[in-house]
Amino acid sequence: MTMKITSIRQGVVPISSQIANAYIDFSKMTASVVAITIEAGDGRQATGYGFNSNGRYAQPGLLAERFIPRLEEAGELAAHPDGGFDPIPAWTAMMRNEKPGGHGERSVAVGVLDMALWDAAAKLAGLPLWKLLANRYNGGKADDAAWVYAAGGYYHPGKDIDGLVEEMKRYLGMGYSTVKMKIGGSPGMAVREALLLDLGRIEAVLKLLDGDGSRLCVDVNGRFGLHAALSYAASIQGFGLRWYEEPLDPLDYSTHATLAEQYVPPIATGENLFSMVDARNLIRHGGLRPDRDILQMDPALSYGLVEYLRTLQMLREHGWSARRCVPHGGHQFALNIAVGLGLGGNESYPEVFAPFGGFATGVPVQDSRVRMPEVPGVGFEAKNELYAVLKDL
């Protein structure tokens, strides 16, 4: 049976807020949203939805000028050997006449469309995406739940240490046992002063977590140079934190290798690596340790799941387990991938980036684990606020 894309619509929606990390504020953050309708040879139709994660902006120009027209011109597409829709030939059509390297933000535009293709593929199969992925790529084995952690702890005008601790307390009340906070966001301050300030913030949150460092992640958003990263490393080493995230520029692999020689607990990075090749450079040259470090490549920013499947293959070839992957972005797409392909878990943003973050409405988090609904596709239709945005396309 062949399949055909019959319509593609796109829009731009704000996900702006007053929060900031150590590198950017989100006052003008936007996201692209798309809807793609696919017709199977037997006349059945499904509409899949996609969007990009926070941190990169909407890509209406790239979508309108290159990627949507190529998909529209793709014509009849070969089905997957299981008889269902296969996003891979559609993805290949989108990427025609694109050179390698210099990934820029076209990976974001392609990621938005890729998400919609997978949502439609799973809907045509009448399966939740996590089940389709387990069937196609994981010998039919899916996890029964995903580990999730609550990411927040942003800088916000007027927010002090008490405000930070109150926020973390709310996350514990929602069923999360591991939380993440921002550090390194003191522009213009000397490293020593900034470090003292951050140690006070970290210790206040650790107190709430009964001093258990394995329940706290800290995120620098790539702000530090090697000197600051090493100074912080020496001071936080003893806390045994769950991970020390994006301490350095994401593309500066050799400084990661130097840090990894000095800092024993886990380091996490990868949310700003947008291709399998970039991730492979990190693995080859970043000195990261497959027994503890965490890889956060986000399929919704980095050419989608078609490329992420290649990244997982590359990791296997380099002796890394998929369990070391905990994608950035806090969206249901990565949650399906985590459960269906056996990743280590997924990020979650209980209080920021609505309506794109979070899970199906009414699904509880228990002991930092969340189960998947049995809804066909990614599960957007079971997430009321998000579906209200998508269905308007």
Residues that bind Mg ion (CB under 5 A): 219
29 binds ligand OAA (CB under 6 A): no
Nearer to ligand OAA, 256 or 328 (CB): 328
Interior CA angle at 76 toward 75 and 80, to 5°? 135
Reading phi first (left if > 0) and then psi (alpha if -120 to 50, else beta), residue 99 is in: beta
The dihedral of CA 78, 314, 245, 257: what is its sign?
Answer: negative
Site string for ligand OAA, 218-257 (x = CB under 6 A): -x-x------------------------------------
Judged by CB under 6 A, the chain residues 95 through 154 that form the site for ligand OAA are 151
Nearer to Mg ion by Cβ, of 329 and 376: the residue is 329
Tell me, what DSSP letter sits at residue 11? Answer: E
Catalytic residue among 156, 328, 331, 383: 328
To the query of whether residue 328 is one of the catalytic residues in this protein, the response is yes
Residue 211 zone, left/alpha/beta (φ > 0; ψ -120 to 50; rest): left
Contact 5, 85 (CB under 8 A): no
| Closest residue to bound Mg ion by CB | 219
Sign, Cα dihedral of 308, 369, 52, 35: positive
| Shortest Å distance, C-beta 126 to ligand OAA | 33
| Residue 252 C-beta: closest distance to ligand OAA, Å | 17
Nearer to ligand OAA, 167 or 347 (CB): 347
Work out what residue 347 binds among Mg ion, ligand OAA, none; the CB cut-off runs from 5 to 8 Å by kind. ligand OAA
Q: Which of 86, 96, 138, 95 is nearest to 117 (CA)?
A: 86
| Spatial distance between the Cα atoms of 94 and 5, rounded to a whole number of angstroms | 12
Q: What's the one-letter identity of residue 288?
A: L
Q: Which is nearer to ligand OAA, 219 or 381 (CB)?
A: 219
Burial 318-328 (b: 16+ CB within 10 A, else e): eebebebbbbb
In the bound complex, what is the minimum distance in angstroms from residue 228's beta carbon to ligand OAA?
17
Per CB under 6 A, 21 contacts ligand OAA: yes
Out of 182, 256, 331, 383, the active site residue is 182
For ligand OAA (CB under 6 A), the number of binding residues is 8
Beta strand 267-269 pairing with 243-245:
parallel
CB of 138 to ligand OAA, least distance (A): 26
Minimum separation from the CB atom of position 144 to ligand OAA (A) = 25
| Closer residue to ligand OAA in complex, CB, 55/247 | 55
Task: Please give the backbone phi and psi of residue 365, each rounded to the nearest 5 degrees, phi first.
Answer: -95, 125
Q: Which residues bind ligand OAA (CB under 6 A)?
A: 21, 55, 151, 219, 221, 271, 328, 347
**Catalytic residue ranges:** 182, 328
